[in-house]
Amino acid sequence: MDSLSKNQIKFIKSLHQKKQRQEHQLFLIEGEKLVNEVLRDKPEIIEWLIIKKNYAFEKEISKPVYFIDDAVFASISTLSTPPPIMAVCKFLPHSTDLSINFNSTFSFYLDNINDPGNLGTIIRICDWFGISKIHCSPNTVELYNPKTIQASKGSFLRVNVIYIPFEKLNLSPQTIVYAADTKGTNIYQTSLKSGLIILGNEANGISPSLKNYVHQYLTIPKHPNSKAESLNVAMSAAIIASEFSRPFLL
């Protein structure tokens, strides 16, 4: 039964920081569901498994496994209520394929999304609606932020997230670029086609530099009795994805 050394504990704690994750190309996943999904779908990215001593772990794995007591586990966890198992994982392979055939599908471009929970939820929404690839502006929050990984509920394993400036996207002249905006046309009264949908920053909306690329703005109208000021960007993504998916699901 192996235990973590002080240096290993210090190293795992350092992965709470983006700079260290980027430098070492490693990140943390926490919880039984996430670890089991990685073991099932991409076991090759696991570097170490770290398990509470009282947790019954019965899977066979060729990577190092460390059993530690609750206090040490709590000290290296990013969660207020630490689960019984976590893993140190390698970054997913970086995709260089920027092509998407928008003749038969749709996807999102996330413009400066700041909240990691929003990014993780959008990734999960994309997984639900069969969107296998999304693109993000370089200023969008990091995929490997612990809150993003948690909010994605394992969908980060199936949705390819690519960080790239919008102007470097390989879009054909026929690609329709939509954008979510409170002053757009009613999404429920619009004939939607395949295309790329820009979702803007939670507070400031779409960057001015992207507006020249937009062919059509869309809005999700609120009920006449609603007093809400706005929708969360992840909620908007779910509604938009549902509407764009309708022709494929009928």
Give the pLDDT score at 218. 96
Instruction: Sketch out the chain's domains with CATH numbers.
Output: 6-90 (3.30.1330.30), 106-249 (3.40.1280.10)
Give the pLDDT score at 31. 94
pLDDT digits (tens, 9 = 90+) for 43-83: 999 999 999 988 887 777 888 999 999 999 999 999 999 99
Q: Give the global pTM.
A: 0.93
Radius of gyration of the chain (CA): 20
Positions in the chain short of pLDDT 70? 1, 96-99, 250
Give the pLDDT score at 59. 78
Give the pLDDT score at 207. 95
Share above pLDDT 70 across residues of the chain, in percent, rounded to a whole number: 98
Give the pLDDT score at 55. 86
Give the pLDDT score at 1. 53
Give the pLDDT score at 120. 98
Give the pLDDT score at 43. 93
